[in-house]
Structure formats: C-alpha cells, structure tokens
C-alpha cells in the first residue's frame, strides 16, 4: 500500500515525487506509523489481512487489468503455496512436513505456486475472454473439492495446523508488529514491481496482447507465452501472499480456499478497481473491515448479502470500482492514464 517504497531505483522515486506531490509520502508514513498507534488487533488481524488479501487481489488485478484475463484461481494459487509450506516445512498434524527450514520451504512453496499458476494459465489460455472465468472457477472449485477429499497429501477437511513463521533477528514474526511490517514490505514490493512491470517492455506487450492479440501475433510475439508468463508473475505475488496467509492463520484447510473465498478475491479486486494496482488494497480494506465488523452492525448472518449488494452496486454504477467512483466524483482531477504508452504501440 506504500507508494514510495518502490524498488525502482532513486530516479523512479524522484519521478514519483515530482508527479505525485506529498500525498503518497503521507500515505506511506501513515502506513508505517499505523501499527504504532492502533491496538494489536488492528495491526495484525485487520492490517495484516488487508495487505495479504490485497496482494492476492493485486495478482488478479495484474491478470485482469493488464492481461484481460479474469482468473478466479488466484486464491487457489495462494493456497497451493500455503499447502506447499505446510508440506515442506513443519506442521503439527503428523502428516507430511518435511521439516525444511523456512528459508528453503517458503521460496519452494512460492516457486511451486508460481509453477502451478503457469500451468493454470497454460490450460486457460487455450480459450479466451469469458471462458477464462469459467475455466479458472472450475479449477478453483475442483482444487477445493480435491484438498477436501484427499488425505495422503492434504489431510482432507482438517488440513494442516501448527505452521509457524520463523523467529529471526530476535523477533517472532507472528507478533503483530513484525508481522505487519513483513506484510507491508511484501505488499510494497509487489506493488512497486507491478507499477514498474506495467511500464516494462513485457508489461506493454501484455497490455497490447489484451487489446489486440491478433496484431501482436502478426508482428511476431508469442501471445501464449506472454499470457502464461503473466500468470507466472501473478503467481509469484499470490504465492508470496499465500505463505504470509498461512503464517497469519497458523494453519491451512480447504475452508481457507473455498469457492466463496475465491469469489471474495474477485469481489475485493472489483470493489477496489481493476485499473490500478492500488485498487485491490482499497477493496481489501473495505472487505476486511466489513467482514470483521458486520456482526456488530447487522449481524454476522447477512454479511454476504451486504458485500454482495455492494459488489453489485459497484459493477452497475462504477465498473472501475472505488477508484473509478472517486474519479467520477472528482471530474476536475485528470483521470489517471493507466496504460500510458500503449496507445502508441497499438
């Protein structure tokens, strides 16, 4: 969620300072001091969760916004990383658990997730457009039923418990403060990479492929490879978020990646807005806050009606989510150009 924490070198930071003014700096500072002034619950449960779900939403936004591929399997990818971590690392249910140290288990889990994401991409780019939603939804649902029923690998309904983040530099990384900063750093890194990547030659090629695959093919691009690689990159982000999510919950089970939760990721991304990487984080903030406090406002039972109606309203009124709404309410603000260079290419 931080704007200035971007790994694009000082010149890029300078450029942002010039373009953006002070607001992002304030935002970044706010995000950094945020955990110092709120109770632990808001740091860990709310803050951590927003950043993690925001990252998974971001991986969807990358595919949908830049690639035109709405994938409902991003939580599945995160879940694969989570299960990977439980299997490679240490868990307390006595099944699998190779006991690898975290610095091998976590990267392996992320790599596994990214590979799985690329495979999902390979399957779903066989068709295009609206089929992508269907195929990825089918994959997400099938994976959910699979982990629910399989015991040798996934320990079925109960899943894995007792997965701990490491203690490093004298800090236990599941304590609210360290965990929040870990999530913030990961999210900022992912956010920065996406901003940078969107302007890279690959990002431009991806956006051009979204807008006109035929022409891209004609001028010699391997359209399939571009799309699959986008899935792979998005899988890296989702996989990282998946590892954080398992550390956050301390456990993973099929309920974590159920169909409703997968659709929740889409809801997050759409509510926030699919046109800019900040969108999913906004969406995640709305989603997590509503989900946590709905029980105090309207009772827990009807949370889904509420979030569903918000979602429907956004789709009907503002297809670009809160971001789009904001821009529409403030017409004097020049709308953000989201694909600054690709018009030239197209």
Partner 1 sequence: MKLHRRALLALTLATSLIAPSVAMADGTIKIGTLATLEGPFTVLGQDSMRGVELALKEHNMMAGGMKLEIIQGSSDASPDSAVKAARKLVEQDGVQILIGPLSGDEGLAVKDYAKTQPNVTFVNGTSAAQDTTLRDPAPNFFRFSTDGAQWMAGLGEYAFTTKGYKKAAVVAEDYSFPYTQVFGFMAGFCKAGGKVPSKSWVPIGNKDFSSVIASIPDDVDAVYVALGGADAVNFLTQYQQAGGSAPLIGGSITVDQTVLGSEGKTKDVVIGTPSAGPISDTDDSPAWKKFVADYKAAFADGFPSPSLFAHGYYVNTTAVLLALDQVKGDVSGDQAKFREALAKLSFDTPTGKVSLDKNRNAIADIYLTEVTKLDDGKLYNKVVKVVPQVNQTLGMDEAEFLKLGVVGRDNPACP
Partner 2 sequence: MNASQAGTQQGVTARQAWALIGLLAAAALVWLFLAVWPEGLVSWMGPKKTFVNAIFNGVTVAGLYFLVASGFTLVFGLMRNVNLAHGSLYLLGAYIGYSAANWTGYWLIGIAAGMLSMAIVGVLLQYFVFRKLEGDDLRQTLVTIGISIVAADLMLAVWGGNTYQFSVPEWLDGAISTPIITAIKSNGDAVYMKYPFYRLMVFVAAVVIGIGLWLILNRTRVGMMIQAGVDDRNMLAASGVNVQLVFAVVFAIGAGLAGFAGVVGGSVLSVAPGEDVRYLLASLVVVIVGGMGSVTGAAVGALLVGLAEQIGLVYFPTYGVVLTFIIMVIVLAIRPQGLMGAAR
Residues that bind partner 2 (CB under 8 A): 70, 123, 126-127, 129-131, 133-135, 137-139, 141-142, 145-146, 149-152, 156, 259-260, 263, 266-267, 270, 301-305, 307-309, 311-312, 315-316, 319
**304 belongs to the binding site for partner 1 (CB under 8 A):** yes
- Say which entry of partner 1, partner 2, none residue 282 contacts (CB below 5 to 8 A, set by partner kind): partner 1
User: Rounded to an integer, what distance in angstroms lies between the CA atom of residue 263 and that of residue 140?
Assistant: 10
CA distances from 86 to 12, 94, 166, 204, 331 (A): 38, 11, 13, 37, 49
Q: How many CA atoms lie within 13 A of 171 on its CB side?
A: 11
User: Rounded to an integer, what distance in angstroms lies between the CA atom of residue 173 and that of residue 61?
Assistant: 28
**30 belongs to the binding site for partner 1 (CB under 8 A):** yes
- Say which entry of partner 2, partner 1, none residue 253 contacts (CB below 5 to 8 A, set by partner kind): partner 1
Burial of 49 (0-12, 13-18, 19+ CB in 10 A): buried
Q: Is-contact 1 277, C-beta < 8 A?
A: no
User: Rounded to an integer, what distance in angstroms lies between the CA atom of residue 319 and that of residue 323?
Assistant: 9
Closest separation in Å from C-beta 340 to partner 2:
23
55 closest CA partner among 143, 184, 168, 149: 184
Output 101 or 319, the one with its CB closest to partner 2: 319
- Please give the span between the terminal C-alpha atoms of the chain, in angstroms, as a whole number: 31
Closest separation in Å from C-beta 208 to partner 2:
19
Output 200 or 336, the one with its CB closest to partner 1: 336
Distance of CA 167 to the CA centre of its chain: 25
- Say which entry of partner 1, partner 2, none residue 104 contacts (CB below 5 to 8 A, set by partner kind): none
Q: Give the contact letters, 55-84, x = binds to partner 1 (CB under 8 A), - = no.
A: ------------------------------
- Say which entry of partner 2, partner 1, none residue 37 contacts (CB below 5 to 8 A, set by partner kind): partner 1
Closest separation in Å from C-beta 76 to partner 2:
12
Give helix then strand counts, H and E, for the chain: 17, 2
Which residues contact partner 1 (rule: CB under 8 A)? Answer: 1, 3, 16, 19-21, 23-24, 26-27, 30-31, 34, 37-42, 44-47, 94, 145, 148-149, 151, 156-159, 161-162, 249-251, 253, 255-256, 258, 278, 281-282, 285, 289, 292, 295, 299-301, 303-304, 322-323, 326, 330, 333-334, 336
């Amino acid at each position: 969620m931080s704007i200035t924490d971007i790994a694009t070198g000082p010149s890029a930071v300078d450029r942002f300072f010039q373009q953006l003014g002070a607001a992002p700096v304030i935002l970044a500072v706010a995000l950094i001091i945020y955990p110092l002034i709120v109770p632990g619950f808001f740091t860990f449960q709310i803050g951590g969760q927003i950043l993690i779900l925001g990252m998974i939403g971001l991986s969807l936004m990358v595919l949908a916004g830049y690639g035109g591929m709405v994938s409902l399997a991003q939580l599945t990818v995160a879940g694969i990383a989570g299960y990977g971590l439980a299997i490679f690392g240490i868990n307390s249910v006595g099944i699998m658990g190779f006991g690898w140290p975290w610095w091998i288990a976590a990267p392996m889990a992320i790599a596994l997730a990214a590979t799985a994401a690329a495979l999902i991409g390979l399957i779903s780019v066989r068709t295009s457009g609206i089929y992508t939603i269907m195929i990825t939804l089918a994959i997400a649902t099938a994976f959910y039923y699979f982990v629910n029923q399989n015991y040798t690998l996934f320990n079925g309904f109960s899943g894995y418990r007792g997965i701990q983040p490491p203690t490093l530099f004298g800090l236990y990384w599941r304590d609210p403060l360290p965990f929040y900063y870990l999530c913030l750093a990961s999210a900022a890194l992912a956010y920065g990479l996406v901003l940078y990547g969107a302007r890279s030659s690959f990002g431009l090629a991806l956006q051009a492929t979204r807008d006109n695959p035929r022409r891209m093919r004609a001028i010699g691009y391997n359209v399939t490879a571009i799309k699959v690689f986008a899935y792979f990159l998005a899988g890296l982000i989702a996989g990282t978020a998946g590892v954080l999510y398992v550390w956050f919950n301390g456990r993973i089970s099929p309920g974590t990646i159920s169909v409703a939760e997968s659709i929740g990721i889409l809801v997050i991304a759409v509510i926030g807005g699919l046109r800019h990487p900040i969108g999913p984080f906004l969406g995640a903030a709305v989603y997590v806050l509503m989900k946590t406090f709905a029980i105090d406002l309207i009772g827990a039972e009807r949370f889904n009606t509420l979030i569903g109606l918000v979602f429907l309203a956004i789709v009907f009124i503002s297809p670009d989510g809160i971001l789009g709404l904001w821009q529409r309410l403030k017409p004097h603000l020049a709308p953000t150009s989201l694909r600054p260079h690709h018009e030239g290419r197209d």
